[in-house]
Amino acid sequence: MKIVFATNNKNKIKEIQSMLPPSIEIISLESIGCHEEIPETADTIEGNAIMKANYVTEKYGFDCFADDTGLEVDALNGEPGVFSARYAGEQKLAEDNMEKLLLNLKNEANREAQFKTVITLNLKGEQYLFTGIARGVITLEKIGDEGFGYDPIFRPEGYKETFAQLSLATKNTISHRGKATQKLISFLNQNSN
């Protein structure tokens, strides 16, 4: 089965392809000639995932899946949430986003947070949603060199290391994206005939 993953983020493509069986091949947006920026203007994580999947299906005619992820910090009433990628501005720089978040939490005792991923799958004219949540805490400083985004400041429940210190294999089993992707993979395996 070939399916389009509606993202230009090569890290996400690599991470998800590493979790898929060889029978499912991810096709990039670049491969289908989609070079424009897909709108992400919904006010929820679910809404953005649906918007991106529908854009590819409607404009290019492919079965596809799209994800949206947000970091929701309890003490900040769910911020940065849907604005996680551009929390510190439209330049979408992970370093700037982490600095802003650490600054906003400087005087907060409650550092609990969760990563939430929603994957929307458009397959054979039907739409399905898969959600993954990873609870944890925001650390006081950046630790680790692996991963991307907020990984260096997020320590998942039950671990002493941040996402940026864990191997990709370990992260894939416990992360928000890993959990949502496992639900997607189970579904695709059952419906790939």
Which CATH number is 81's domain given?
3.90.950.10
Token pair recorded at residue 166 = 């864990």
Q: How high is the mean pLDDT of the chain?
A: 92
Domain around 57: 2-191
Q: Is the pLDDT of residue 139 over 90?
A: yes
Q: Give the model confidence (pLDDT) of 106-124 as tens digits.
A: 999 999 999 999 999 999 9
For residue 14, name the pLDDT band (cuts at 50, 70, 90): confident
- Look at the block and give the residue holding tokens 């947000």: 70
Question: Which residues are within 8 A (CB) of 154 and not within 5 positions of it... i.e. 6 or more apart?
Answer: 71, 113, 115, 134, 136, 137, 138, 139, 162, 163
Q: Which residues, in sequence order, are CB contacts of 116 under 8 Å at separation 6+?
A: 45, 69, 70, 72, 131, 132, 133, 176
What digits encode the pLDDT tens for the residues 53-71?
Answer: 999 999 999 999 999 999 9
Number of structural domains in the chain? 1
List residues with catalytic annotation: 68
